[in-house]
Amino acid sequence: MTTSRFTDTHRLFLQAAISRRLMTEATALDLYSQVCNATDGMFWRHLIPRERFNQDQFTEFVTQVNEGLNSVELEFRRSQDETLGTPMMALTNTNGQKIAQVATGYSPTELEYFKHLLDAIVMADDEAYCISSTAALHEAGKLKNKENKSISITKRDAEALLDRFVADKWFIRSAAGAYSLSMRSLLELQTYLKETYGDQIQECTLCMEIITKGQRCMVAACSTRLHHHCAASYFKNMHNAVCPTCHSAWSGQVLIGVSDRTSAPPKVRRQRRRDNDDASGEGDVKEEGEDK
């Protein structure tokens, strides 16, 4: 199937989805029913009830849309909100190897700042997966162009860019002012994140999706990481919760990421890279002014 064979229903749904990019699956289903009423419904004397559009029908419709979008490197991807477990859908660029091809609409300087923020969040020490507002603004002073020359960006411009990144749903800003990855970033940049950061990118042991907010096993050597909603479902009927991998007691108190009202460290401290940097003998990357 190609985009030229899209029906009016496909086209209207896609146009509406492009303006949203990221939405709950319930919103997407409601959008689908409205689009069907605007196209197929014109042949009826009354609107088609919302209940007529079941999950199976909608899933088949999304599959058809994805088949048509394949040639233009776009795709609807499903996942669950990391904190609440709410089913989500995002219209994503499947060519996620290069940020410039995904995060369109930004200048080279703005993309460079975006990449610095992304790196600081992913590489945050102790799997915090967030940075403070202060640290985010400090990253703006480290930008360089392709010729390795420093790029000047004012604090005001950096603040405006941070607001734009949040408005465009690339980052989330918590009540405590910490910046973390949004579901859009996790879905649309998943290829880039995995290929760029390797073992620094953790996956939930149960759902196998990227995890930046959740729980981890108390045993340091254990690799088990669980989203909060995955943990709640898995341990629901257990009298004594135990790790699904090493079977040690599971407290749920050792966290990945930080809570919405917990402040991130004011300075960036990146964890040790476990791939190429190990071979070169590089250690922890620290901010200027930190203890060596």
Query: Which CATH number is 99-197+260-271 given?
Result: 1.10.10.10
Flag whether pLDDT at 48 surpasses 60.
no
**What's the whole-number average pLDDT of the chain?**
83
Position 49 pLDDT exceeds 70: no
How far, in Å, are 58, 103, 167, 267 from residue 87 at the CA level?
14, 23, 21, 34
Q: How many Å apart are CA 33 and CA 212, to the nearest integer? A: 33
- Angstrom distance (rounded) from CA 78 to CA 90: 7
pLDDT tens, position by position, 181-207:
999 999 889 888 998 999 889 999 999
Under 8 Å between Cβ of 111 and 219: no
Give the residue-averaged pLDDT of 166-183.
Answer: 93
Q: Are 138 and 289 in contact (CB under 8 A)?
A: no
Confidence at residue 273, expressed as pLDDT on a 0 to 100 scale: 59
Which pLDDT tens digit goes with each residue over 147-170?
888 988 999 999 999 999 999 989
d(Cα 94, Cα 102) in Å, to the nearest integer?
8
DSSP 1-68: --GGG--HHHHHHHHHHHHHSEEEHHHHHHHHHHHHHHHGGGGSSSPPPGGGS-HHHHHHHHHHHHHH
65 exposure class (CB count in 10 Å sphere: 0-12, 13-18, 19+): buried
Under 8 Å between Cβ of 140 and 113 = yes
DSSP conformation class of 126: G
pTM value is 0.79
Average pLDDT for residues 28-55, to the nearest whole number?
Answer: 65
Q: How far apart are the first and last CA of the chain?
A: 58
Q: How confident is the model at residue 121 (pLDDT cuts 50, 70, 90)?
A: very high
